[in-house]
A and B are shown apart, each in its own frame.
Chain A
């Protein structure tokens, strides 16, 4: 009889936030905004940003080390880093992270799906494990959006924070707690300009320095359109993954959405017909940390007790590209370190 495929099973989680705390009050003291303005629109009260000279890999290494410790493992077969803010445009940052974790020699590469990066990375890790190529993968989501936002743009400065979160996945059975039971992914390149850093890539560089603009090096976001598409895609991706794994909306104990903005999370949960308390929310504490947001939320959820063994969890995200995705799993008995 043919053996059923291996499933990726969550074995450990960990997170790392930079030390510099930026409160809404601090932002209000240096630009035209207020705690009330930011909190009403985003639900965000504070965020953390890296010190000058620090890089995405510094956070990724720390989060990765914590996830390995949580899993009780010293090594894995591959390292994946979901990020939009690599240390350098070239090469990928994952090999550097792997080496600093003492994992020189293992395959390591970056995945870029902006704020959907962790869910995309989870699908890749699941596929690598299902194929039998690897028995364990360290998946890290890490971003330092403070390095790409315009410091004078209140709409993005107030929303984004830096951070890293990580998850160790090992080969296992589908009936084990922690097994990733299903993943849904999608994209729409027609929406690429909703979330974009226009300059610095081949489109502008092939045209020369004269094609660069003052604002083009910064991250920009069409907030209202992003909100609309994020709500729709995160809701639909959730319904699609529930259909794939045979769960109803009522079966879900906790929805861990990309922590972009509390309003998006509230609207998605309401649209799904779930009670508001089914959404795990930590955007108030860390802001939108892009690819790091879901694994940081998972780590926070373990620490707070919101995520406990046996709870049925759906992850869902929307990000630049546009890209989106969702995943379903039953939470395992693990401790955050």
Chain B
């Protein structure tokens, strides 16, 4: 299965779009349109709309999702698995209990505004570990959302009023907290109906705190930090598999399939590296083979000899990298130059053409986690690729595809619920059937995280190949439906 060429590419023209209404832009999507998102059962939707039509004081009796197991975690990689914790979180869906559902739709709108926030302009940021490095990802994400909005406008825009959607674009790649200010602006000044965005974990957390207080949906399509969703905020959604899911798959592959016992880790010193690798570290320890050595590097570094010398001296069987593609490739090259022939594993950010170009032959055999299967045969995906290429002249990457799916989900929710932020939240959070996007089916967990299948990507003959757990026959620990309650209670020592 060959990939269709995953590219990170940045057009200088994107900066021209900043701050402009997309409704003023000529559409380049042509007559190719991708399939609309899977329509949930209409009867269910109508019932849902009836239920959420309440006064300011009533909390609608919505059925709350209940998960029996958090994040499909295998028993043997759960924290403190030998005892029952006093309290387990994220198993029951959060409610919105405020008065927002009773706010009437405003009159005299010319457009229906949806916010985009992401790293699209270069800056020096403490939040992202120095000079910014995520613009390529942010611009790719922006393009996916733009395409979704343009296609929706081609279909008639906001159908209830026959007015166009407008994407209000913000950059979050500033100093600490820039995302907070931008969300404030989107929510209060621009008065958008929902917001899509953020990639960097720190900015994402800042953004969702503001979204909670301002009471507006935040759809994340690019931040794989597991803790992003572990905040109990009923306004937050994520439609991309996270580092917990990809970490679990990698752990199973490394320890249950390949039977490694001595793994070393090298990661970026930023939040992405720090939190992304946590499930690898915890999983390894819980399976009885703690990570032997974990080394961090400054984001943007080009010399990794200090870290690699220590890893080399640690008698390792394999090395896991968690960081950006450039650093990932440079580390790999330096390893090989030092005579380190360890198998090399990495995170999804390394699954890029940039990595392949930099690593060259060294890339062969590298295995990474990946949140979806971009090379699968799927009509919607093919239509999306074609439309994206026509519009932007480049191949879509993972950020484009997830941005496209996330924006389509928001547009669907607005079309369904109308112009009410709380109801937009409700229909997204309580739709009966999961959305089927170009990245696959997106089933939400109780905490509104994407529980869709994740994959491994392996470089074979200079190209990325994608494999499911089933493809590689990777064993998995037992996922107990509710085993934990029968164990001893930590707080009492009793049953």
Partners in one complex: no
What is B's interface to A at a CB cutoff of 8 Å? none
Q: Which residues of A contact B (CB under 8 A)?
A: none
